[in-house]
Amino acid sequence: MISSELQQQIHFLREIDKLKGVLRQSPLLDQSRKENSAEHSWHLAMYAFILSEHAAVHVNVARVIKMLLIHDIVEIDAGDTPLHGQQDGKQFEREQQAAKRLFGLLPDTQGDALSALWHEFEEGQSDDAQFAKALDRFQPLLINVFTGGGTWVEGKVQYQQVLERYGPAIQRGAPVLWTLAREWVAGHFDQSSTR
């Protein structure tokens, strides 16, 4: 007989399969299609694994990877809100409700731990969360640069907007990555990187 805890865990794992169907605005680097939120989360986990030495301070890489694997699970219910899209002011409320429902599918101890980790990421105060948030901005920036502008072109995003929307999070969590990213952005917009 299967324990109720195992049944809950399997139900959760089946439910989060839906993240594969949440399309983001960012294209794949080969521009063949848009990425989905599950691919984005996996890719960010790899970024953390590979780039952890560039965090502003020493971070617990395993915790950062966990944060990145779960940070967008709420989009199953709340949908993805593009960084350069229209905001209705209710996205975080929808995400909180989604977190409660989705993490509530798990056994209490496990669900509470994932919920706490998700909230830590959202609050962005811990060193681990700041590095995770830096990567969550760095990856789409890289995609935009290496796809000729990607969502920036589609959204008519300007140089200063990129600096304001990506810079603070990347600078806080991974200053070395921001130095590199700022050079890319300046090159893309044909701006002086010292501006």
Domains of the chain, start order: 4-189 (1.10.3210.10)
pTM for the predicted model, two decimal places: 0.94
Question: Does pLDDT of 175 surpass 80?
Answer: yes
List, for residues 49-61, the tens digit of each pLDDT value. 999 999 999 999 9
Question: Does pLDDT of 128 surpass 90?
Answer: yes
* Whole-Å CA distances, 113 to 6, 41, 63, 108, 174: 17, 18, 11, 8, 26
Question: Does pLDDT of 176 surpass 50?
Answer: yes
Q: Which residues pair with 36 in a beta bridge?
A: 23
* Whole-Å CA distances, 20 to 43, 57, 75, 90, 137: 13, 32, 10, 23, 20
pLDDT recorded at residue 85? 67
List, for residues 64-76, the tens digit of each pLDDT value. 999 999 999 999 9
- If one compares 46 and 89, the residue with the highest pLDDT of the two is 46
Question: Does pLDDT of 26 surpass 50?
Answer: yes
A 10 A CB-CB count for 57 gives 9
